[in-house]
Structure 1
Amino acid sequence: MFIEPNISGERRGSIEVICGSMFSGKTEELIRRLKRAKIANLRVEIFKPKLDVRYDVQNIVSHDTNAILSSPIDNSQTILLLHGEADVIGIDEAQFFDDQLPEVCDQLALKGIRVIVAGLDMDFTGKPFGQIPFLLAKADYITKLHAICVKCGHIANYSYRRQQHNSAQFLLGEKDLYEPRCRKCYYEKA
């Protein structure tokens, strides 16, 4: 990622979006960037949706169990209340937040804060998921990550739901419910 040099000395904010399918390493990348910001002695605040309790109620945890402390919240407006004096704000599972998240991220970036958002870009039906498309449109930097297809070993960018009888868009799960697939294997549905 290229960061423009700051000649004037004023603090410039930005929005970074990390997206991809399940098991592509989005949360791992978010944690890596946030830990690097902490090493640089930047003030970091981290948020996740309160409904995401798969690994831990409070921590953001990647599939390989790397973790970082976060604040679980009910809605994106709460970030504006809790960000304090943060230089960097991390937001995980952005697809589960309300439709105010892109505006909240814009407001934070305008205050000179580096905002790093991670989330699924498509749901299990292959359609754009939640607020991620709107965040991608506003992003200064975008990182699209890929998993490995469990059927053929090629690059996977789809999250295949193994239980096709449940049509709810929000169904929290891991490898018991989802698997990464390439386009060909996703559409074969076998």
Structure 2
Amino acid sequence: MINEGIERPNIFQRGSIEVICGPMFSGKTEELLRRLRRAQIAKLKVEIFKPSTDTRYDATAVVSHDLNSIQSTPIETSSSILLLGSNTQVVGIDEAQFFDDELPVVCEALANKGVRIIVAGLDMDYTGKPFGPIPKLMAIAEFVTKITAVCMVCGAPASRSYRLAAGRETVLLGEKESYEPRCRVCFNLDK
């Protein structure tokens, strides 16, 4: 028999990658928190990470715009997740667009070891271009959930983050004073 001697993985220990993406104010972090809380209710060992540069609401907690939160570990580089998340069953990663390009490699390595990875982040920057490691993560993920917000101009489903603040740098931490969600049509009105 060809598969003789090959150990089959336990169906409950199979790793996977889930990506939750969309524009600002679409509820990505809320969905991440919901999935992580369900894992905690199931008594799974959960570790949560965020980039150390994201200090908008809290230095250590992942906090949604609705101020729901969960404690996390702020880290500088995605390789830290391999060290800190290796003995866990579920890894949550917020604001993934701010991580380095090694994040997909890290997520794949953990998923291959049986870890469930749940990643949330912006899929496009303020110019409408793919943002950071999110596109690569979407390509290797088993599950991708793309969430829309509400366009602040016309009320249609919004898939883009429109920058209100001046500046051309790709990363500009901000909230409603700096960004608003817009649909494709309204996003391109002011270009």
TM over 0.5: yes
| Alpha carbons of structure 1 residues 8 and 79: separation in structure 2 relative to 1, 3 Å | closer
Cα distance in 1 for partners of 2:82, 2:62 equals 19
TM-score, structure 2 normalization:
0.93
How far does residue 84 in structure 1 lie from its aligned partner after superposition? Answer: 4.3
How far does residue 10 in structure 1 lie from its aligned partner after superposition? Answer: 6.0
Deviation per CA, 1:26-77: give whole Å up to 9, x if none: 0000000000000000000000000000000000000000100000000000
3-state SS, counterpart of residue 105 of structure 1: helix
| Letter aligned with residue 45 of structure 2 | R
How far does residue 85 in structure 1 lie from its aligned partner after superposition? Answer: 2.0
3-state SS, counterpart of residue 48 of structure 1: strand
2:84 is the counterpart of 1:82: yes
Q: Structure 2 unaligned runs (5+)?
A: 1-7
| Letter aligned with residue 187 of structure 1 | N
| Alpha carbons of structure 1 residues 41 and 128: separation in structure 2 relative to 1, 3 Å | same
Query: How much is the aligned-residue C-alpha RMSD, in angstroms?
Result: 1.4
Out of 159, 162, 165, which is 2:161 matched to?
A: 159
Aligned partner of 2:24 in structure 1 is 22
Deviation per CA, 1:101-133: give whole Å up to 9, x if none: 000000000110000000000000000000000
| Alpha carbons of structure 1 residues 181 and 9: separation in structure 2 relative to 1, 3 Å | closer
Cα distance in 2 for partners of 1:86, 1:7 equals 17
How far does residue 11 in structure 1 lie from its aligned partner after superposition? Answer: 1.5
Q: Structure 1 unaligned runs (5+)?
A: 1-5
3-state SS, counterpart of residue 188 of structure 1: coil
Runs of 4+ in 1 over 4 A off after TM superposition: 6-10
| Letter aligned with residue 116 of structure 1 | I
| Letter aligned with residue 164 of structure 2 | R
Higher-Rg member (1/2): 2
> Is the Cα–Cα contact under 8 Å of residues 86 and 110 in structure 2 kept in the other structure?
no
TM-score, structure 1 normalization:
0.94
Identity over aligned residues, as a percent?
60
Aligned partner of 2:181 in structure 1 is 180
How far does residue 83 in structure 1 lie from its aligned partner after superposition? Answer: 1.1
Aligned residues: 184
Aligned partner of 2:3 in structure 1 is none
3-state SS, counterpart of residue 44 of structure 2: coil
Cα distance in 2 for partners of 1:25, 1:139 equals 19
